[in-house]
Amino acid sequence: MTAKPSTYNDNDPIGVLDVTILSNLVLDKVLGIKDLRTDKRIDFVGGIRGLGELKRRVDSGEMKVAFALYPVSMKQIIDIADTGNIMPPKTTWFEPKLRSGLVIHELC
């Protein structure tokens, strides 16, 4: 799917994210899913499990539909951070996982 340019705000660093567009235009407006964190009708599959896992869950009848999104780019992360915003749910899924506290480096 490709969102029409007039359906999202090009000047909003969060509004241009695939996950925000999908959430606002499909999950909310079409499926009535308002809260990605708590709605029992939605589940997330980590990227490391691949598209095959999405296909398996739909083909088995466990889920009715699956969406695969492009990862958030480093520029998008920087744009969001520079505006003082926080990333939407499930956009901070990174593989491989970093060992928390193993290395801390001050960037500023």
Task: Map out the domains of the chain as residue ranges.
Answer: 13-82
76, 16 contact by CB (below 8 A): yes
The label of the residue with tokens 């969060």 reads 14
Q: Which residues make Cβ contacts (< 8 Å) with residue 8, sequence separation at least 6?
A: 15, 16, 20, 21, 24, 25
Above 60 in pLDDT, residue 101?
no
- Please give the Cα distance from 35 to 38 (Å, whole number): 6
Q: What angle do CA 64, 66, 70 make, to 5 degrees?
A: 170
- Whether the full predicted model's pTM is greater than 0.95, yes or no, is no
pLDDT in tens, 26-66: 999 999 999 988 999 999 888 778 899 999 999 999 999 99
Above 80 in pLDDT, residue 102?
no
